Structure 1
Amino acid sequence: MPYEPPPELAALSLSEIAERIAERKLPPVSQWQPQVRGDSHMRIAADGRWYHEGGEIRRPAMVRAFASLLRREDDSSHWLVTPGQMLSIEVEDAPLIAIDLKREGRDIAFRINTDDLVIAGPDHPIVSRGDPETPALYVSVRDGIEARLDRSTYAQLIEIALEQSDGTGDAVPEDLAVTSGGTRFALLPA
């Protein structure tokens, strides 16, 4: 069956996004505990590009397939996991990039560079790291894997936070935050 990317995020309602998320069948990598471990000789650059033995993986279908097998352990190491083996993978920042967002009411959905869709909330928090001068925003995708918001998506989220804070988008509050899924997320690192 050929891969069909989802329509543009703006064309989907939040309920349609939730349906697409529920329909996506992903491997149960969190349940697999293979004993065989090795090195994948792969690296994910901070800009979201994937490399194998120094050469860039340019086929989006390959990146999507590998991304569906990703898991992050408690020690922050990243692994490609199958039922038979775990292969380490070097990740410079976050393995995925959030490339678009849609707000509907008080909820925010993200599109990831692998065409995954995520609705921010308690199970998929938005996290701010860095310092107030150079913050970086991430959204939790699955199995400990995060997506860093690209510049455009970051700017869209800040605009939403400004609108939610004073209604006009003019003031920059010290507690800049957004709400999604009934949860408030600070956008400036503590």
Structure 2
Amino acid sequence: MPMDPLPDLASLSLAEIAKLVEERKLPPVKNWNPTHCGHSDMRIAADGTWFHQGSPIGRAEMVRLFSTILRREPDGSFVLVTPVEKLTIDVEDAPFVAAEVRSEGVERGRALVFRLNTGELVPADGEHGITVREGDDGPRPYLHVRDGLEALIARPVYYELANIALDDAVGPDGRPGVWSNGIFFPLGSTSE
């Protein structure tokens, strides 16, 4: 059965986006505890590309399906889990990439929604925070997706957030950042 096509994020209102987010039903992977069966021969590259046995997975529907059964273990490792098996998957950075952002409103009244490379829509809010960690190549921004899973915010999207930060005020600690759903997310590292 084919999956529904992804809606155009720019054409949706925030109310429509919120409804889509609420309607999304994910498998209860945190409740499944099957025996570990080995390695899946899969990895997720730093750019968000999914590979199986060294070859990119070309079908977006397959990547979206696998992304729904991805879980982060307490030791920090990643697994694909079903009710009957659990397989390790290698993740080079974050398992998802926030490839697009939609902003509505201004300053404290702003709401941000991100589209991941898997098509999933994630609002920046109290459950889905934005953090910035310093990396060898500069700031590395991340969005919390669910249950310890993060999305690396793509560089062009980070630049969009930086432009928004120019319009929004600085936070209480003096760092620039963005507001979303009533929460201020600093975009700079603490050393700035």
TM-score normalised to structure 1 length: 0.90
SS of residue in 2 equivalent to 1:40: strand
1:27-42 counterparts in 2 under 5 A? 27-42=27-42
Contact 1:107 1:181 in 2 (8 A): yes
Q: Residue 24 and residue 164 in structure 1: after superposition, are their counterparts in 2 closer, same or farther (change >3 A)?
A: same
What residue is the counterpart of 2:9 in the other structure? 9
Task: Tell me which residue corresponds to 2:67.
Answer: 67
Structure 2 alignment gaps of length 5 or more:
none
1:117 to 107, 118, 121: 121
**Does the 8 Å contact 1:72/1:143 carry over to 2?**
yes
State the match for 2:47 in structure 1. Answer: 47
Please give the secondary structure, in 1, of the residue aligned with 2:30.
Answer: coil
Give the CA RMSD over aligned residues.
Answer: 1.8
Task: Provide the identity percentage.
Answer: 48
The yes-or-no answer on 1:97 pairing with 2:101 is no
Residue 25 of structure 2 is aligned to residue 21 of structure 1: no
Q: TM-score, structure 2 length as denominator?
A: 0.89
Contact 1:132–1:189 (8 Å) recurs in 2: no
**Counterparts of 2:136 and 2:129, CA distance in 1:** 19
Structure 1 stretches lacking a partner, 5+ long: 167-172
- Look up the match of 2:169: 165
| Structure 1 residue 131 displacement after superposition | 5.0
- Pairing 1:147–2:143 present: no
Q: What letter corresponds to residue 148 of structure 1 in structure 2?
A: L
How far residue 181 of structure 1 moved from its aligned partner, in angstroms, is 2.0
Hey, what's the Cα distance between the residues in 1 that align with 2:180 and 2:136?
22
Shift of 1:158: 0.9
The DSSP-based 3-state class of the residue aligned with 2:29 is coil
CA contact (8 A) 1:110 1:119 kept: yes
Task: Spell out, residue by residue over 1:97-153, the C-alpha distance to the aligned partner (whole angstroms, 9 max, x if none).
Answer: 111101112110001111100101110111111259700111111222111111211
Report the secondary structure of 1:30's partner residue. Answer: helix
C-alpha distance in structure 2 between counterparts of 1:132 and 1:185, whole Å: 22
Once residues 62 and 157 of structure 1 are traced to their aligned partners in structure 2, the CA distance between those partners, rounded to angstroms, is 30
Label 1:66 to 1:126 Cα distance change in 2 as closer, same or farther (>3 A): same
Q: Greater shift after overlay, 71-80 or 84-93?
A: 71-80
**Structure 1: which 4+ aligned runs deviate by more than 6 Å?**
none
Q: Does the aligned pair in 2 maintain the 1:131–1:188 contact within 8 Å?
A: no
**Number of the residue aligned with 1:80:** 80
Is contact 1:127–1:185 with CA below 8 Å preserved after alignment? yes
